[in-house]
């Protein structure tokens, strides 16, 4: 017999509500929208990267930024890129090396890591900062995770549950996309 019932579902979905509707992040959402628009105006692009579910979020949001919001965006989810760079430079370095090849100082890099402690993401954050590229981070779990300290804008979800952290990141990123679309459509 399962202990999961209506009350469990309600409690679980309320955790999403608390994470997503965190008023303290609203200013950062507006700031990220402005940063993405400024990146586009100077001829830069938004580069998104993550591992696993965060990579899927990066793919979805890069397509929506480009197609729907008119902001050029890319992600590093091509199998040949990942396997080549991981083979040649090591898995911990593949994203930072991809940034060496594909980014410039007009770009904005968005790094997504639920734990905020994935070594390839942390090394990419360091590389973006070394190259003076705007950096936006999305993390969760421990409030003192290392990724949360690296960005110009740092989004953090107060949860230790992967799905809640990842889906909150996804919704927040798509909120930025929709704010850009609305701004664009209202002119």
Residue 70's region, left for phi above 0, alpha for psi from -120 to 50, else beta, is: left
User: What's the domain count of the chain?
Assistant: 1
Residue 26 lies in a domain: yes
Locus of tokens 């091509």: 78
Q: What percent of the chain has pLDDT over 90?
A: 95
Residue 60 lies in a domain: yes
Separation of alpha carbons 65 and 73, rounded Å: 6
Question: 27: closest CA among 179, 142, 181, 186?
Answer: 179
User: pLDDT (tens digit, 9 = 90+) per residue, 177-186?
Assistant: 999 999 756 6
Query: What global pTM score does this model have?
Result: 0.95
Tell how far CA 70 is from the center of its chain. Answer: 18
Residue 129 lies in a domain: yes
Q: Residue 21 sits in a domain of what CATH number?
A: 3.40.50.10490
Q: What backbone torsions phi and psi does residue 138 show, to the nearest 5 degrees? A: -130, 120
Residue 73 lies in a domain: yes
Residue 163 lies in a domain: yes
Domain of 139, in residue numbers: 6-185
Mean pLDDT over 35-59 rounds to 98
Residue 1 lies in a domain: no
Tell how far CA 167 is from the center of its chain. Answer: 11
Task: Write the DSSP assignment of 84-134 as a string of letters.
Answer: HHHHHH-GGGHHHHHHHHH--TT-EEEEE-SSS--HHHHHHHHHHHHTT-E
Residue 62 lies in a domain: yes
Mean pLDDT over 30-53 rounds to 98
User: pLDDT (tens digit, 9 = 90+) per residue, 154-170?
Assistant: 999 999 999 999 999 99
Mean pLDDT over 121-145 rounds to 98
Mean pLDDT over 83-108 rounds to 98
Mean pLDDT over 8-22 rounds to 94
């Amino acid at each position: 017999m399962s202990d999961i019932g209506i009350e469990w579902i309600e409690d679980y979905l309320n955790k999403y509500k608390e994470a997503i509707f965190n008023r303290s992040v609203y200013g950062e959402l507006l700031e990220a929208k402005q940063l993405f628009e400024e990146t586009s105006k100077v001829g830069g692009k938004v580069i998104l990267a993550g591992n696993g579910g965060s990579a899927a979020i990066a793919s979805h949001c890069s397509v929506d930024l480009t197609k729907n919001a008119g902001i050029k965006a890319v992600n590093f989810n091509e199998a040949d890129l990942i396997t080549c760079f991981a083979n040649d430079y090591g898995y911990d370095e593949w994203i930072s090396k991809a940034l060496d090849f594909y980014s410039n100082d007009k770009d904005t890099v968005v790094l997504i890591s639920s734990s905020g402690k994935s070594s390839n993401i942390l090394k990419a954050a360091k590389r973006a900062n070394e190259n003076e590229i705007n950096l936006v981070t999305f993390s969760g779990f421990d409030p003192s995770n290392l990724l949360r300290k690296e960005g110009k804008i740092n989004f953090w979800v107060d949860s230790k549950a992967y799905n809640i952290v990842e889906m909150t990141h996804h919704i927040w990123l798509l909120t930025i996309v929709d704010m850009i679309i609305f701004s664009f459509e209202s002119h």
